Amino acid sequence: MSSLIPSFIVLGSLLITLVIMLRRAPDLKAGTIVTNLIMTALCFVGGMLISAMYTRAVGNESSNPFIISVLVAMGTFGALAIYIKLDEKQKRIIQQRKQQNLQQDIQQDSSPGSQPGINE
């Protein structure tokens, strides 16, 4: 049973990442779910790369499965944190652009020559 614990750690990190991605989704349409699955897989690949660096440095014979699984989980959650931060930044930029466009529309509407019938 104790030999399965590293596998459960890795599987748990993958499932927790997927749940977090789905909870952040704006809707649960098929396209959104597929996108979240792909992003979860990419975050998981990031975790696997972190553990692969450790395995490469120490060697396959002397690597500890618990350390490898913890590194996979840490790398997966680290990649998820980076994705969330970049997603929030992108949403903030889009919101700022919408506000700027709205302000420009308001300024154009309030300019003296924009209202018909005033100068006629």
- The two structure tokens encoding residue 26: 């704006």
pTM of the model: 0.78
pLDDT of 87 above 60 = yes
Domain boundaries, the chain: 2-83
Q: Which of 6, 16, 1, 21 is nearest to 71 (CA)?
A: 6
What is the structure's pLDDT at 113?
59
Query: Residue 48 is which amino acid?
Result: M
pLDDT greater at residue 108 or residue 42: 42
pLDDT digits (tens, 9 = 90+) for 36-66: 999 999 999 999 999 999 999 988 888 889 9
113 DSSP 8-state letter: G
